Amino acid sequence: MIGTDLLNAKTLLENGRCVGIPTETVYGLAANALDAKACAEIFRIKNRPSFNPLIVHVHAVSEIEKYAREFPEPLKKLAEKFAPGPITFVLPKKENIPDIVTAGGDTVALRIPAHPLTRKLLQQLAFPLAAPSANPFGYISPVTAQHVEQQLGDVIPYILDGGACTIGVESTVVTVENGEVTVLRLGGVSVEAIEAVCGKVRLAINHSSDPKSPGQLASHYAPRKKLFFGELNQLLEKHPTEKKGVLTFSDAAKGTNIAYQCVLSPAGNLNEAASQLFAALRFLDSCDVDIILAEQFPDKELGRAINDRLKRASAQA
Ligand code: TXA
Ligand code: MG
């Protein structure tokens, strides 16, 4: 069921159940982060491999030190600037975080979401919320309550409806490794914005299929239709005959057998494009087309996060 009843969401969570929650990035599948059994339900419902750790959501920066042993200075500076918002900090964990949340590891990912409804929920709860994106493992992340309902409506008791997500791609995951600020996943806060606060950062964006690299799997965010990603004219030349759905940045594509098109931002705004990305991928996946072609976005700001998701979406094509 979808609704805006905070008390219902709160009661279900207090009873160890999973609830769909809105955030500014994507919808999450939330459970009590301090309850290993409730978190096990998340893995079961998502069909998520247990080696992939969860993000723990808290309502304020001041909560971070309840669950993390250290909060290095450069990350604190990033929190001052970007939290609440689409940034996640990987920090040495305290004992109160169950092993299932961190996939047995010694670090925990913590984030303060900016969505007002979910912040209110977190303020009313006596525990933080573990929440991965609310999609079956490997599929496109949901950016509306309806997306969550379409896929998980039968297996979760409630989805808190906070409207469409404004950022539209997941949070940027950062940590400090060997004294260096390191970006583990590109996301809603751009690398440029991070570097403006704490200087040059290291990128450790993995595209491997090695399960030892949690959450950085090569294939992810993938539609069911085959998706090809690259320079648009080359893609169109390579696929003249198939019935196509085409996803572009600001200009419509011209070519043969294009059945559907999604132009993410006619004004050429990368933030707007990011906010439309997952809904457009879901739409094209639902259309009567043979394949999806997605053009490469400008390799800057949120364009890098968009390219990252499209690359993973295309990995099996
Ligand atoms: O925007 C978001 O971050 C959304 C919303 C719901 O908050 N959540 C999200 O969760 O994207 P999920 O589970 O789909 O992605 C979590 C990412 C994965 O890449 C995971 O490997 C990484 O965070 N992660 C979590 N804990 C980690 C840790 N201890 N060390 C390294 N990476 C970690
Ligand atoms: Mg996810």
H or E, element range at 277: helix 270-286
Averaged over 94-115, what is the pLDDT? 97
pLDDT of residue 207: 60
Residues near ligand 1 (Cβ within 6 A) = 23, 25-26, 28, 52-55, 86, 88, 90, 102, 105, 107-109, 111, 113, 131-133, 170-171, 173, 184-185, 214-216
Confidence of residue 219 (pLDDT cuts 50, 70, 90): low
pLDDT of residue 185: 96
Half-sphere exposure of 78 (CA within 13 A, CB side): 33
Averaged over 258-268, what is the pLDDT? 98
Number of the ligand 1 atom closest to the C-alpha atom of 113: 7
221 torsion bin: left (phi>0), alpha (psi -120 to 50), beta (else):
left
What confidence tens digit (pLDDT) does each residue in 188-201 have?
999 999 999 999 99
Averaged over 215-226, what is the pLDDT? 74
pLDDT at 210 over 60: no
- Give the number of whichever ligand sits closest to the CA of residue 173: 1
User: How many Cβ atoms are within 10 Å of 123's Cβ, its own excluded?
Assistant: 10
Nearest C-alpha neighbor of 105 from the set 47, 170, 52: 52
Averaged over 256-283, what is the pLDDT? 98
Distance from the alpha carbon of residue 262 to the mean position of ligand 1, in angstroms: 28
- Tokens 């295309």, located at residue: 314
The distance from CA 246 to its chain's CA centroid, rounded to whole angstroms, is 23
pLDDT at 283 over 80: yes
Number of the ligand 1 atom closest to the C-alpha atom of 28: 6
Averaged over 255-269, what is the pLDDT? 97
Confidence of residue 71 (pLDDT cuts 50, 70, 90): very high
What does pLDDT average to over the chain? Answer: 95
pLDDT of residue 211: 46
pLDDT of residue 212: 46
- Tokens 């959450």, located at residue: 215
pLDDT at 107 over 50: yes
Q: Cα(53)–Cα(51) distance, rounded to whole angstroms?
A: 6
- Give the number of whichever ligand sits closest to the CA of residue 49: 1
Cα-Cα-Cα-Cα dihedral sign, residues 83, 86, 87, 92: positive
Q: Cα(16)–Cα(24) distance, rounded to whole angstroms?
A: 24
Half-sphere exposure of 95 (CA within 13 A, CB side): 0
pLDDT at 14 over 50: yes
Identify the residue whose C-alpha is closest to ligand 1 atom 19: 215
Number of the ligand 1 atom closest to the C-alpha atom of 169: 1
- Give the number of whichever ligand sits closest to the CA of residue 52: 1
Averaged over 68-83, what is the pLDDT? 98
Distance from the alpha carbon of residue 137 to the mean position of ligand 2, in angstroms: 7
Nearest C-alpha neighbor of 157 from the set 38, 52, 59, 53: 38
What is the DSSP code (8-state) at residue 153?
T
Q: Cα(162)–Cα(49) distance, rounded to whole angstroms?
A: 28
244-248, strands of its sheet edge to edge: 226-230, 291-295, 244-248, 258-263
Distance from the alpha carbon of residue 244 to the mean position of ligand 1, in angstroms: 32
37 phi/psi in degrees, rounded to 5: -65, -45
Q: Cα(246)–Cα(82) distance, rounded to whole angstroms?
A: 33
Strand partners, 292: 227, 245
- Is the pTM above the cut of 0.85? yes
Distance from the alpha carbon of residue 132 to the mean position of ligand 2, in angstroms: 6
Identify the residue whose C-alpha is closest to ligand 1 atom 24: 53
pLDDT of residue 206: 73
What is the DSSP code (8-state) at residue 165?
-
H or E, element range at 228: strand 226-230
103 torsion bin: left (phi>0), alpha (psi -120 to 50), beta (else):
left
Q: Which of 21, 23, 55 to mutate to test the pocket of ligand 1 (most atoms within 8 A of CB)?
A: 55
- Omega of the bond prior to 86 within 30 degrees of 0, cis? no
pLDDT at 213 over 80: no
End-to-end CA gap in the chain:
35
Number of the ligand 1 atom closest to the C-alpha atom of 141: 14
Averaged over 60-81, what is the pLDDT? 98
Confidence of residue 221 (pLDDT cuts 50, 70, 90): confident
55-57 and 129-130 strand pairing: antiparallel
What confidence tens digit (pLDDT) does each residue in 156-188 have?
999 999 999 999 999 999 999 999 999 999 999
Identify the residue whose C-alpha is closest to ligand 1 atom 32: 214
**Which parts of 11-104 are beta strand (E)?**
19-21, 28-32, 55-57, 87-92
